[in-house]
């Protein structure tokens, strides 16, 4: 059953088509209007053209990566800095969880469940 409640505009930045499609489907059903960027450069363009209420960002994307994109968001869209959820499949880098924790954002480790995704989005 589709949720008719409008929860705002959400930017998904994900270069893996399957993950992007799944997140899009789940979050659309939750009432979000989704725009998708497959790399950081496209995300910057969309951020400059649209108002977003929340961002779901893969840490490792082509061009501008998710951490660099967060730097752009913090400079140009400071009201959005605590409305970012990061995703990563990189379980070896210690700097990613440290960065995300310092930024005060949420981190989803891939693969994640629907409930983990919704929990992170709802907390953000």
Asked if the bond preceding 111 is cis, omega within 30° of 0, the reply is: yes
DSSP symbol at 15: S
- Taking the domains of the chain in order of start, what are their residue ranges? 8-123
Spatial CB neighbours of 40, under 8 Å, sequence gap ≥ 6: 13, 61, 62, 63, 64, 65, 66, 68, 69
pLDDT at 20: 97
Question: Does residue 77 sit in helix, strand or coil?
Answer: coil
What rounded mean pLDDT belongs to the chain?
93
Q: What is the pTM of this model?
A: 0.93
pLDDT at 22: 96
pLDDT at 82: 93
51-75 pLDDT per residue, tens: 999 999 999 999 999 999 999 999 9
Query: Is domain 8-123 annotated with CATH 3.40.50.2300?
Result: yes
pLDDT at 4: 57
- State whether the Cα torsion 91-92-96-97 is positive or negative: positive
């Amino acid at each position: 059953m589709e949720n008719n409640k409008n929860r705002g505009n959400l930017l998904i930045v994900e270069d893996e088509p399957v993950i992007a499609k799944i997140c899009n489907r789940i979050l659309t059903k939750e009432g979000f209007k989704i725009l998708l960027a497959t790399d950081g450069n496209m995300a910057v363009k969309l951020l400059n053209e649209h108002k977003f209420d929340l961002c779901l960002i893969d840490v490792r994307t082509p061009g501008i990566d998710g951490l660099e994109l967060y730097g752009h968001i913090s400079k140009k869209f400071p009201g959005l800095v605590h409305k970012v959820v990061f995703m990563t499949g990189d379980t070896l880098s210690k700097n990613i969880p440290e960065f995300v924790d310092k930024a005060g954002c949420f981190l989803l480790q891939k693969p994640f469940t629907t409930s983990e995704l919704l929990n992170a989005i709802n907390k953000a």
